Structure 1
Amino acid sequence: MKWHHVQENWSAFYEAIIDKWPDADEAELDEIDGDQRAFILYIAELTEQETGDAREEIREWLAGELPSDVVMDPRHDDQSIRLSGKYLPEGEDEYDDDARYGDDGPNE
């Protein structure tokens, strides 16, 4: 993913940021408001590492997949669904009905 995806959808990335850096604080993230330099400095301070090391850690995080619930774009969603297939057990289809999870209503 690119930084502009993060910046444009900043608050939608909070969960992904906190997954990667569990000590991150939403109030602090609110103050950063998508500013890349401020985020690098924040992660460096949070993880007690040099700024360059924090920048590299963030770069590695950005190399991952864009979370499917961040950008509402059918092309992105379809790509995310296809990519999720690598995490499914053999014989299971990424397009299978997910009714067993209990989040489907009668019209879904």
Structure 2
Amino acid sequence: MLFTVNVIERTKVTDIARKKSKLKWQWAGHICRRTDGRWSRRVLEWRPRLGKRSVGRPPTRWSDDIRRIAGGRWMRRAEDRTAWRALREAYVQQWTAVG
């Protein structure tokens, strides 16, 4: 393990999972702070299914892992930049600790 950390530091290789999760968190905050009425925020709030649900496990939505860290009112929390940045590290750790 120590050898792996040393090699990563020396070669300056970027951890893809860490980078992906950080960019997703930043983009989600950016979209939630928009006030110009673009479609991207409306897509996040959209509930597509009407009627009966299909059998089996419910499909995972894009915002489910964000909601797990920031709570149910995550779109409102994203409007406060300092609080959103503070939550980012917890979100990134979720993805880097897994695998």
**Length-normalised TM-score, structure 1:** 0.24
More helix by percentage: 2
Structure with the larger RCO, 1 or 2 (CA within 8 Å, 6+ apart): 2
Q: TM-score, normalised by structure 2?
A: 0.26
